[in-house]
Amino acid sequence: MSRVGLNPIMIPEGVEYKFTDQLFSVNNQKNTLSLKLDSGFEIIEDNSIISIKRPDNQKKNKAKHGLYRSLIFNMFEGLSKGYKKVLELHGVGYRATNAGQKLDLSLGYSHNIIFEICDEVILKTEAEKGQTPKIILESHDKELIGLVAAKIKSFRKHDPYKGKGIRFVGEQVRRKAGKTASS
């Protein structure tokens, strides 16, 4: 059994929270994130450390206890430090450019893919000579940045035979051997 929900959460400097009517909201000077908790869950604060208390020991409440703790921790972490994901394009002629929040991808199809990214995610692209093009995403919302990165990866999934496609920096792709000619 996981005991993630029992771990306390430190409240970082410059981040405030409010818990009313089962709505947990966290904010700093610029951004706000909120989460609706099931009835019965309580937030207990003690010296800038908060912990989450579940209503009973039913299986569904035990499962949500750890989930809510992780989501609340991610909200505090995102508003204090932020999240960053870096994607790289592997393939001959694969390019990525941006104009504001519009990402223009050239991935070997007959047409370019233009993807509009929401304002909560900051988009940057890098294309240095001799290195793979990179797409840099930054946001305060971990769930949103993960969804945007997954959508970008879905435009050209990595190929296990040639190694082409979009992947995270440092992601290991298991390469497969192709067909061999029999003699």
Residue pLDDT, tens place only, 118-176: 999 999 999 998 899 999 999 999 999 999 999 999 999 988 998 899 999 998 888 88
The angle subtended at Cα 28 by Cα 26 and Cα 29, nearest 5°, is 145
Alpha carbon distance 87, 115 (integer Å): 15
Q: Set out the domains of the chain in order of their start, with CATH numbers.
A: 4-80 (3.90.930.12), 83-168 (3.90.930.12)
Residue from 179, 173, 171 nearest 160 by CA: 173
Residue type, 160: P
Residue 86 in contact with residue 138, Cβ under 8 Å?
no
pLDDT at residue 173, as a whole number: 87
The pLDDT tens digits of the residues spanning 44-90 come to 989 889 999 989 889 889 889 999 999 999 999 999 999 999 999 99
Residue from 42, 74, 44, 81 nearest 61 by CA: 42
The pLDDT tens digits of the residues spanning 91-126 come to 999 999 999 999 999 999 999 999 999 999 999 999
**What token pair was written down for 153?**
């990866």
Question: Per residue in 66-93, is it b (16+ CB within 10 Å) or e — as a string?
Answer: bebbebbbbbbbbbbeebebebbbbbee
Residue 8 in contact with residue 49, Cβ under 8 Å?
yes
